[in-house]
Copies of this chain bind each other. A is one copy, B any other.
Amino acid sequence: MPELRFDPIRRRWSIIAPERAFRPKDFAIEKEKINEENNCDFCEGNESKTPKEVFSIRKEGTPPNSPGWRVRVVPNKYPALRVEGGLIRKGEGIFDFVSGIGAHEVIIETPHHKKQLQDMDPKEVVDILKAYKERYIDLAKDMRFRYILVFKNYGKEAGASLYHSHSQIIATPIIPIAVSLELEAAKDYYGRKERCIFCDLIEQELSYNRRIVYKSEKFIVWCPFASSFPFETWIFPLIHRHEFIQMDEEEINDLSFVLKDVLERIKILLKNPPYNFVIHTAPIPRKRPGRSHYWETLPYDYHFHIEIIPRITLIAGFEWGSGFYINPVLPEEAARYLREIK
């Protein structure tokens, strides 16, 4: 059973997830595993090789766990957190544990082995975004979960262990520190100004017009002022939306173009680099046991967005020890290159 452990010094949780009897020889550095087309668990026809699907978008009349799907969601075979069991919180001296309850699912983005997200038709991306939304809504019903994170690792250096295009969704029993730091900043700003910090940021970027990659009808894309990584790119809805599941049909259609387009620009400019993207959304709005008020999520505090990080530099001792990131590319230059690539 995995467990969450809190570090009283770094004030951060780790997920300790020993999956099997530990043998040190397993811990050589992970080598590239490009699974072959004829031996890929995620390909159409191999549905029986994965855990049973929890959601799919498929041709009418085809039964679950059989061919005919366009997007398919299955539990992760090696989950970081597990759905089964009670949520136990306990302490030991200055240490705190939470049982490793959560969910860990894989969104298989296409039945085709070789098609990557950045090469898809926007219509195919619509299905993926809808799958994110459906799974989010379903998982959010589980009262043990506090936060649901949707993310994608593309390429070995970005942490992908399989080649077939996929993203992941992890539900956690506590709000992740990266999220609570952002929430705190947003709440503090809203408390002082009664304005959303993200909305103000959009206004400011639009008026400076130096870091914007482009603006669609519903979304804006820019390289952030204090980018931690070269060519880091953010996608924000222009309209204030605290949760990504608030997106309507039109917004999802627009985002499918924007997401695909940005990833394609990055692919062309940086020669198909590994990347991560993460959807930053508000925590699930719900009462905390023993408290009388909703925590964190006032709708005007938060503004969902997607962070894309091409992984072309390494995280080394300095970054780890300081929390500072050294970025060798001016965000204004990065935005200009991304603007001009097409």
Contacts and interface: CB of A to CB of B under 8 A. Distances in A.
A314 interface: yes
A276 B324 contact: no
Given A29-B274, A158-B317, A326-B80, A225 B22 contact: no
A329 B18 contact: yes
A228 interface: yes
Interface string A69-87: 0000000000010000000
Interface in A205-255: 208, 224-228, 230-231
Q: How many copies of this protein are present in the complex?
A: 2
Contacts of A317: 151-153, 158-159, 168, 276-278
Contacts of A168: 317-318
A226 B13 contact: yes
A129 interface: no
A24 interface: yes
Interface stretch (A46-54, A57-65, A178-186): A178-186
A33 interface: no
A322 interface: yes
A42 to B, nearest CB: 18
Q: Which A-B residue pairs are the 5 nearest by beta carbons?
A: A159-B316, A278-B321, A176-B322, A151-B317, A178-B323
Interface of A: 5-19, 22, 24-25, 27-30, 80, 93-95, 147, 149, 151-153, 157-160, 168, 170, 172, 176-179, 181-182, 184-186, 189, 197-198, 200-201, 204, 208, 224-228, 230-231, 269-271, 273-274, 276-280, 307, 309, 311-318, 320-331, 333, 337
